């Protein structure tokens, strides 16, 4: 991918990076001005191979979850800008597809509802801020996709945001998830970050994870960019703190919008 981007001079995006082994090549390419961008996913930043029990195929995904040292390198690459953003890679399945055989089980993790609190829980332990998480999960993905009305709280953008209590915790209960098939590798984990309410284009659509009124949505297409490199805009927060996401679930939100962090109770 890097070689193609360098040869053609066209922007290339690397999906679902899980291996730290690729980071030196990517960093060197970016230093040379090669127009390449990179994403990773919540499960690669929060789960480690050492903690996966035998036969626990709810942890199976492709590419796979790797060792703790590899995870540390991914976090360092996020902080340095070698990795540009964090995306859900939401890949749900029915329970029968997660047979207790890693060779035959479905490879995918449903991360949409829990992605934000999972990433925020690990990020705060590593000294990162809500603004950092907002940049990785909202501002950068929106900019890369050309969604100029999304990804930040500022005049002229869609009023999509969630009100988050960043210091509150909850324990993941599969029965409480809004996924149609609540198979999750996060079951039993205690996570920081509880969404109090969610707003879409200035209209409240959820309170404490429960829908309010009739849900609505739409298809979005990004603007075609003439330049080969993405331009990541500022958050425009004023006195608030932005955080990623808009809608999906009792305790998590969808990357691509923003939310306000509440002060501790």
Residue 8 belongs to some domain of the structure: yes
Give the H/E segment covering residue 199.
strand 190-200
Task: Tell me what the mean pLDDT of segment 27-35 comes to.
Answer: 97
Q: Is residue 209 part of a domain?
A: yes
Encode pLDDT of 180-228 as tens digits: 889 999 999 999 999 999 888 889 999 988 889 887 767 766 665 554 4
pLDDT at 209: 82
CATH number where 22 lies: 3.20.20.140
Q: Tell me how far apart the 2 most distant CA atoms of the chain are, in Å.
A: 54
Does a structural domain hold residue 226? Answer: no
Flag the least confident range among 47-61, 87-101, 173-187, 247-261. 247-261
Say which residue the tokens 């590899």 belong to: 70
pLDDT digits (tens, 9 = 90+) for 221-259: 666 555 444 433 222 222 223 333 333 333 333 333 333
In a domain, 201, yes or no: yes
Residue 219 maps to a domain: no
Q: Is residue 224 part of a domain?
A: no
Span 72-89, mean pLDDT? 98
181 part of a folded domain = yes
Looking at residue 162, its pLDDT comes to 86
Tokens read off for 97: 């597809």
Determine how many CB atoms are found less than 10 A away from the CB of residue 51.
Answer: 11
Quote the CA–CA distance of 145 and 24 in Å, as a whole number: 25
Site of tokens 């298809």: 219
The residue among 257 and 33 whose pLDDT is bigger is 33
Instruction: Note the pTM of the prediction, 2 decimals.
Output: 0.82
Would the pLDDT of 79 be above 50? yes
Q: How far is CA 40 from CA 75, 91, 105, 106, in A?
A: 10, 14, 22, 20
| 144 band by pLDDT with thresholds 50, 70 and 90 | very high
- Distance between CA atoms of 237 and 76, rounded to whole angstroms? 25
Q: Above 50 in pLDDT, residue 69? A: yes
Cβ atoms within 10 A of the Cβ of 205, count? 20
Percent of the chain topping pLDDT 90: 68
Residue 73 has pLDDT above 90, yes or no: yes
Query: What is the percent of the chain with per-residue pLDDT over 70, rounded to a whole number?
Result: 81
Confidence class for position 264, pLDDT limits 50, 70, 90: very low
The residue segments making up the domain with residue 64 are 2-214+234-261
Answer whether residue 38 is part of any domain. yes
Cα-only R_g, the chain: 18
- Tally of structural domains, the chain: 1
Nearest to 144 by CA among 241, 65, 223: 223
* Residue linked to tokens 């000294």: 127
Which pLDDT score, from 0 to 100, does residue 146 have? 92
DSSP 64: P
């Amino acid at each position: 991918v890097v070689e193609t981007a360098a040869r053609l001079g066209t922007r290339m995006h690397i999906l679902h990076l899980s291996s730290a082994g690729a980071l030196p090549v990517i960093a060197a390419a970016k230093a040379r001005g090669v127009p390449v961008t990179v994403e990773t996913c919540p499960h690669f930043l929060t789960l480690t191979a050492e903690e996966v029990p035998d036969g626990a195929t709810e942890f199976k995904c492709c590419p796979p979850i790797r060792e703790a040292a590899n995870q540390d390198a991914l976090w360092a690459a996020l902080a340095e800008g070698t990795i540009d953003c964090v995306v859900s890679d939401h890949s749900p399945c029915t329970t029968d597809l997660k047979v207790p055989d890693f060779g035959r089980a479905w490879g995918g993790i449903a991360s949409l509802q829990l992605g934000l609190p999972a990433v925020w829980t690990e990020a705060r332990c590593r000294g990162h801020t809500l603004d950092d998480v907002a940049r990785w999960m909202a501002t950068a993905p929106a900019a890369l996709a050309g969604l100029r009305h999304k990804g930040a709280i500022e005049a002229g953008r869609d009023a999509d945001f969630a009100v988050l209590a960043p210091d509150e915790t909850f324990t993941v209960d599969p029965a409480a998830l809004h996924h149609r098939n609540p198979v999750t590798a996060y079951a039993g984990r205690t996570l920081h970050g509880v969404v109090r309410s969610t707003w879409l284009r200035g209209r409240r659509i959820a309170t404490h994870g429960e829908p309010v009124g009739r849900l609505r949505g739409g298809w979005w297409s990004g603007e075609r960019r003439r330049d080969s490199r993405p331009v990541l805009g500022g958050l425009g927060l004023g006195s608030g703190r932005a955080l990623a996401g808009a809608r999906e679930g009792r305790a998590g939100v969808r990357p691509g919008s923003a939310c306000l962090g509440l002060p501790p109770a």
